[in-house]
Amino acid sequence: MQNRLDSKIYAGFYVRFAAYMTDCIIAAALSFLIKLPLWTAAMAGLDFLNKGILFRFTIQDIIQYLVFASYFVLLTYFGHATPGKKLFRLEVITEDGTWTFVNILYRETIGRFLSGLLNIGYIAVAVTAKKQGFHDMFCDTFVIYKDMICTVPVDTTRGGQAPAGQTLAEPMAGGPAPANQAPAEVMAGGPAPANRAPAEAMAGGPAPANRAPSEVMAGGPAPANQAPAEAMAGGPAPANRALAEVMAGGPAPANQAPAEKTSDN
């Protein structure tokens, strides 16, 4: 079964930071509007609003935090994105499609608190492969671009995988090679005939049936009584002419050994 994240593009650190700052501005504005009447009442004489009831936190502080947290929890749960994320076309999803209120509540409260410790959890977005912060890892969530999918084929010359029917040589040649085409034929530009040897492809044409490989290098067929060395020397050697004579440039006298001929010259 195909992974639902295979074609998704993960949102990076900077775009997520911009979306989060946008959400913080909106949430702070909402918190101020709700806290303003309480602050006015405290100034009017309701002193209990300024007293700490949970450690040093006052009722105003607790209400402000609840408004701030509810903004992220409710909008993420019901819409998979806050207004800041929607502005940048981002969306929060899970790998298996599971979406529960408890999971989102944990992500936006405890998860964000842990990510905020020295901001290490948020910096993880910039260095992890799937752009996850600690709050994403704890709740198995991912932030992706909503309307973007990855459709670029993988290039095998850059470390990717080739399609199932394509070998490594085929991307270099521009397409798959026919079933009867050898790797050398791809470099030569086309298939070689059935009776054509690899050396013939380099020489530019088929060799006759009675033509040896050395003849291809010499440029023509050698006579029946001509040895391979004669083809290199440029002509046939007499029957009584030894191989050393061909190299020395002339015939040796009958009473002269091959070594003597070498010393005379």
Cα–Cα distance between 234 and 242 in angstroms, integer?
Answer: 15
What predicted TM-score, i.e. pTM, was given to this entire model? 0.56
Cα–Cα distance between 64 and 220 in angstroms, integer?
Answer: 97
73-105 burial, b at 16+ Cβ within 10 Å, e below that, comes to bebbbeebbbebbbebebbbbbeeeeeeeebbb
Report if residue 204 sits inside a domain: no
- Domain of 51 in residue numbering reads as 8-97+141-147
Number of Cα atoms under 13 Å in the Cβ half of residue 43:
6
Q: What is the pLDDT of residue 180?
A: 53
Number of Cα atoms under 13 Å in the Cβ half of residue 144:
18
Tens of pLDDT, residue by residue, the chain (265 residues):
456 677 889 999 999 999 999 999 999 999 999 888 888 888 888 878 888 888 888 888 899 999 999 999 999 999 999 999 999 999 999 988 899 999 999 999 999 999 999 899 999 999 999 999 999 999 999 999 998 777 655 454 454 444 544 444 444 444 554 555 554 454 445 554 555 554 454 445 554 555 554 454 445 554 545 554 444 445 554 445 544 454 555 554 444 544 444 444 4
Report if residue 203 sits inside a domain: no
Report if residue 26 sits inside a domain: yes
Domain tally, the chain: 1
Q: What is the pLDDT of residue 71?
A: 97
Report if residue 73 sits inside a domain: yes
Residues 6+ apart with CB under 8 A from 229: 237, 243, 246
Report if residue 253 sits inside a domain: no
Report if residue 93 sits inside a domain: yes
Q: What is the pLDDT of residue 5?
A: 76
* Inter-residue contact 177 to 191 (CB < 8 Å): no
Q: What is the pLDDT of residue 212?
A: 52
Structure tokens at 134: 């600690």
Cα–Cα distance between 197 and 234 in angstroms, integer?
Answer: 25
CA-to-CA separations, 211 to 200, 206, 221, 241, in angstroms, rounded: 11, 10, 6, 24
Report if residue 228 sits inside a domain: no
DSSP for 131-160, written as a single string? ---HHHHHHTEEEEEEEEE--PPPPGGGT-
* Inter-residue contact 125 to 133 (CB < 8 Å): yes
Q: What is the pLDDT of residue 230?
A: 47
Q: What is the pLDDT of residue 144?
A: 96
Report if residue 43 sits inside a domain: yes
